[in-house]
Amino acid sequence: MSARSALPVIAVAAALTVLAGCSSTKTDGKKGSGGLELVSAGTLKTCTHLPYAPFQVKKDGKVVGFDVDLVDLVAKDLGVKQEIVNTPFEGIETGQDFTIRKCDLAAAGMTITAARDKVMDFSDPYFNATQALLTKKGKPFKKVEDLKGKKLGYQKATTGGIYAKEHGKGVELVEFEDLGLLLTAVKSGQVDAGINDNGVLFDYVKQNPDTAVTAEFNTGEHYGIGVRTGNDALRKKINAVIKKAKSDGSYNRIYKKWFGTTPQS
């Protein structure tokens, strides 16, 4: 929708604030400010936009996925529970959800971009991605330009949409509110192809063998966990947890659970 390092130990006072379940502390809204605050005491609220399997998807009434398991490690480290907040992706990527304190962080299979980095702060990269093309099986489309005169679907407010607009001259572009609607449109033939991140499309093909990923575009994207601009204490905590997970094997375990293999890099 859409990889990173080690960091200093979080301030003792900040950790005590969280563990004691106190109400949030004030920050100055600038990068580098101290203090770790949570929107609701005792809860780490995660904004995401469902469905986005295998990163976040509802199964048997519960939201599960790669991002969910990764953020659970952060919540465990803080001594709190993670709560998923399903919200339109536009509110996440524009930073609005942080402004109105809807959540503490956003884990939404979200690519770090310059535009998004202006309205939120990102953790170190935790996942590599690229754009890919989904079609019904047997279709010849290998690049966006091959779809001239055809319909290409993309998800609203995503890097896939940006790529489609940059390369889709002569292609009829069709916007969808979420990934589920986009995938259904490809499968049903409503559109000739759909563009989105490779991880979610390959996951979809596993369950839908009448579809295929016909191309990847090597856009070199990296997912990051977003926090409110200036919430450096939480950002550093997330980075520390990611680094620890990569060193103690937790990251590889979670990766294999959701992708069936270990990361290549």
Question: Is the peptide bond between 51 and the residue preceding it cis, with omega within 30 degrees of 0?
Answer: yes
Mean pLDDT of all residues in the chain?
A: 88
State the fold for domain 130-219: D-Maltodextrin-Binding Protein; domain 2 (3.40.190)
**What per-residue confidence (pLDDT) applies to 264?**
75
pLDDT digit string, tens, across residues 9-29: 333 333 333 333 333 333 334
What is the rounded distance in angstroms from the CA atom of residue 150 to the CA atom of residue 146?
A: 9
**What per-residue confidence (pLDDT) applies to 68?**
98
DSSP per-residue string spanning 220-240: -EEE--EE-TT-HHHHHHHHH
Distances (CA, A) of 43 to 18, 21, 91, 210: 9, 9, 20, 41
Place of tokens 């001239």: 148
Instruction: Report how many helices (DSSP H) and strands (DSSP E) the chain contains, helices first.
Output: 10, 14
Return the structure tokens found at 26.
Answer: 């004030």
Residue 33 has pLDDT above 90, yes or no: no
Residue 35 has pLDDT above 60, yes or no: no
Residue 177 has pLDDT above 60, yes or no: yes
Contact present, 127 and 255 (Cβ < 8 Å): no
Residues spanned by CATH 3.40.190.10 within the chain? 43-126+224-259, 130-219
Top-level class of domain 43-126+224-259: alpha beta
pLDDT digit string, tens, across residues 52-85: 999 999 999 999 999 999 999 999 999 999 999 9
Look up residue 26 and give its DSSP letter: P
Contact present, 139 and 212 (Cβ < 8 Å): yes
